[in-house]
Structures are given as structure tokens and as C-alpha cells.
Amino acid sequence: MQIALAPMEGLVDHIMRDVLTEQGGIDWCVTEFVRITDQLLPSRTYHRLAPELAQDAKTPAGTPLRVQLLGSDPQALADNAAKACEMGAPVIDLNFGCPSKTVNNSCGGAILLREPEVLFKIVEAVRAGMPAGVPLTTKMRLGYDSPDGAMDCARALADGGSAQIVVHARTKTDGYKPPAHWEWVAKVQDVVSIPVFANGDIWTLDDWYRCREVSGVDHVMVGRGLVSRPDLAKQIACARDGIEYQLKTWQELQPMLREFWRQVRAFQAPRSAPGRLKQWLAMLIRNYPEAQVLFNQLRKVTDCDVIDQLFGFAVGELQHTEYLKQQPA
């Protein structure tokens, strides 16, 4: 049984992957999607979205990273997958689940679930262009506006060469509206012989138990549930192994928040850094009332020096670096 950290554009970047995988329980994680159109992207794009490639494709905690691609051009996806493999990606993942209107309007993400034959061609082409020893995995939703074609899509992915399928148990039109339809994950697993991961609405340990019972699969991918409860994967992993675990208190999470802010200050411009912290606090409010207090305190704060001091850093101690811009082309 594996627990994966879901890729979420604009939220789970290398900083968030670092602090969340440090909590334990996560078996692997995925980059934000790399958008592929019709050309081979430069190395700097991969270094920006996946700086872990320079560290054996692992987070500082040692959690393996997969590089996720999104697009609809089979050859361009195949070329970029091959490049990512050359740069050290141990697994390539293809995104067929993104519900973004912008992405769908440019023939990427969940809209491709309307055409299982296109899914097959994409996966087949990417698989053929990759080294034999590097696995190819895929992520899908139940469909675009109906789950009726979910099994056809899953078969297309498996037949094309996908080694695993993560199923977000909603359609594109469902968005993120509860509930997730875990019973459809069971139907998908029935028609493919490769491992299937359940994704969607796993916020608590009880949710994991129910998901496992309804979906019939052991593997899960967790996104918003982990961002709002950073040690949820650790709690699930301990339950899986029969070990008692006490969830961390708000006070016990403070070193993690401090480290998150330190990295945000290092890698993001001062004008955008406060917004990143507030974005996370807004999600932590779901489980920690203290996060609401801190969010209210910082709501109108735009001065990074003020937040630096709040986390115990001296004024001028933290500086924005140009590290990612210095990576080779």
C-alpha cells in the first residue's frame, strides 16, 4: 500500500513538497504539471519546476519525485518525456485529469477523456520514446461530464503502456465538489490489471478507511487533505502498520511553518512571498483554529520583514536568491 502526494499547480511546488515529505508517510510525490505544446522545452523549465532532479530526483527527506507532463501532442510529449528521463526523472507521469478551463480549452487535461483512442496514442507514443527501465504512470478523472466512459479511458491508458493509474473520483464538471465517487475507482480496477490509486476527498484517517472499503484499492493519492493536515500521511501510514500515532498540535507544526517561510523568502520575490504563506494558512484553517488567528494577523501584511520577525528571523537575515534562474539552459 502506497501513499502519494498529489500534484497541485500553484500550491505543491518544491518548497511544499519538501516540508510535507519531511513529516513522513509519503511514498512518492509529483511535480506541478509541465505544460507541453509542440516543442521540446529547455532544461531550465525542468529545473524550475523540479529542482529535485539535481538531487537524485528526491526531496531532502528522500521521497522520490515523478515528473508530470500535460499536453495532447504525442510526439512532443514523447520528446519531452525522453528529455526528463535524461535529466534524471525516475518516473514520468501524464496528466489527463486537470479540470482547468484554460488547460481544457487548449486540448489538455480532462478534456482528452472524451477520446479514449487519443489517450491510447499519447501513452503509446510516450512509452515508446522512454527508456525501458523508467516507468510511465497516468492520472485521470472519471470523465469530462460523465463517468460512463471511465472504464474505456482506463483500458486505453493501461493498453498504451501505463504502469499505474491514479483516479480522481470525480468528473471534470464535478470539479472538487463533494462527494468523491470512490465506487467508480473499484470499477476501474476491475477492468485493468495494473495498480490503481484512489484520489479525492481524503481529509482524515476515517476518510481513508472508508475510501479503502468503498474503492477496494489500497493505494491512495492525497492532495488538499495533506496540505491542510501536514502529517495526515504519517497518521495513515502508522494505521496501516498498526502503530499508534498522535497528530501534531499547532505548536508542534511551528518549525515546519518557519522552514516553509525561510524557503519562500529564498526562492520567491518579496512581493509574492506573503501571498504564498497566506495561501497555506487559509487551507490550514480547516484543522487548526490557530491558523485563522495568524491569517487574520497577516491578512493585510505585505512587508516580508514583519513576517520574518514573527518567525524569529532578524531583519535582513533572509534574502531572495536567484538560484533557480542560475540553472543551466
How many angstroms separate the Cα of 164 from the Cα of each of 19, 139, 209, 264? Answer: 26, 8, 21, 33
Strand partners, 166: 139, 197
Strand partners, 169: none
Cell numbers at 289, concatenated:
483554529
Please state whether the peptide bond connecting residue 179 to the residue before it is cis, i.e. omega within 30 degrees of 0: yes
Closest residue by Cα to residue 140 from 172, 168, 117: 168
Cell numbers at 77, concatenated:
510529449
CA distance linking residue 175 with residue 169, whole number of Å: 10
- Pairing type for strands 34-35 and 136-141 reads unpaired
Residue 98 falls in the annotated catalytic set = yes
CA distance linking residue 282 with residue 108, whole number of Å: 29
CA distance linking residue 65 with residue 87, whole number of Å: 13
DSSP at 102: H
Among residues 29, 85, 98, 304, the one annotated as catalytic is 98
CA distance linking residue 27 with residue 328, whole number of Å: 29
DSSP at 221: E
Per-residue 3-state assignment (H helix, E strand, C coil) for 123-141? HHHHHHHCCCCCCEEEEEE
Q: Residue 209 — φ and ψ, nearest 5°?
A: -60, -45
The residues annotated as belonging to the active site are 98
